[in-house]
Amino acid sequence: MPQSYLGLSIPAAPEIRLPIADISEAIPGLVQIHHVVKTFGEKTALKGITFSVPAGQICGLLGPNGAGKTTLFRLLMGILKPSEGALRIDGHDCFDERVTVMRLIGFLPDEPVFYSYLSGREILELSAAMHGLNVAEAMERLTPTIARLRLADDIDNYAEDYSRGMKKKLGLLLALLHQPKLLVLDEPTNGLDVESTHLFYEIISEVAAEGTTVLFSTHLMDHVTRLCSHAVILNEGTVVAQGTLEELSSEHGHATLETIFLVLTSRPPQGATAAQTP
């Protein structure tokens, strides 16, 4: 049944399960996620989530800590297998066809980790070779972005000595290296200064304009509002809202994205239940 909180209407979506073979047609989009459940022993991290991300769009994945965002990213990367349901990227099953899927994805983790005793340039060249690219051509294509991110003076230094922000920049370069169809970015601006954050979002907007689909997680609502066409809100392993930013605002009384997020993910203070128990 619909819920109401602080004057906002929260409609309940009906649950629809489809045969896995029908997912590509029934859930259009480059990224297709249908009734995905993921359990770890007795803990259920994802509870039957369904959503899609249209090709060429930027989608913000929002949710409080523990909502299931990291688990979802690992499922999309083929690192984990869903307990139920299916995830597809460009029609390919993320687990069963994970080798193909990895060629389609550029992934930037929250905390990039690199090989010890390799320079930034050597890491990029090694990754280009592993993707089967012409290394010289790949590096030539990245050179303007390296300079734009102000890494040119440090690209030949050991990456393990980079600051957190510099590691994020190298991670973005690695994600863009093979010109993926989908960019998956986990808290991409953590550790970046204001200038670097602005550059990151400029680059992300540009690659999206060229046709790359982007899915990124963040806790910064204003960044989603500025950058994204779509948003998905997770809470306690379920999708509580999804759609274009205009649709979300219209469905919830023209509230701001931050207000919608706070309403849909609100929880009682810790100890509140215990305090009410006689």
Structure confidence by residue, pLDDT tens digits, 141-164:
999 999 999 999 999 999 999 999
Choice among 62-71, 78-87, 233-242, 263-272 with the minimum mean pLDDT: 263-272
Q: How far apart are CA 187 and CA 190, in angstroms?
A: 6
Contact present, 85 and 261 (Cβ < 8 Å): no
Q: How far apart are CA 11 and CA 8, in angstroms?
A: 10
Q: At 89, is the secondary structure helix, strand, or coil?
A: strand
Q: Which CATH superfamily is domain 54-76+106-264 in?
A: P-loop containing nucleotide triphosphate hydrolases (3.40.50.300)
Query: Is residue 21 very low, low, confident or very high in pLDDT (cuts 50, 70, 90)?
Result: very low
Per-residue pLDDT at 34 exceeds 90: yes
Statement: the pTM of the whole predicted model exceeds 0.75: yes
Looking at residue 5, its pLDDT comes to: 42
Q: How far apart are CA 164 and CA 114, in angstroms?
A: 12
Per-residue pLDDT at 26 exceeds 80: no
Looking at residue 190, its pLDDT comes to: 86
| Percentages of the chain per state (helix, strand, coil), in multiples of 5 | 40, 25, 35
Structure confidence by residue, pLDDT tens digits, 131-144:
999 999 999 999 99
- Number of Cβ within 10 Å of residue 32's Cβ equals 24
Query: Is residue 116 very low, low, confident or very high in pLDDT (cuts 50, 70, 90)?
Result: confident
How large is the average pLDDT for residues 217-233?
A: 92
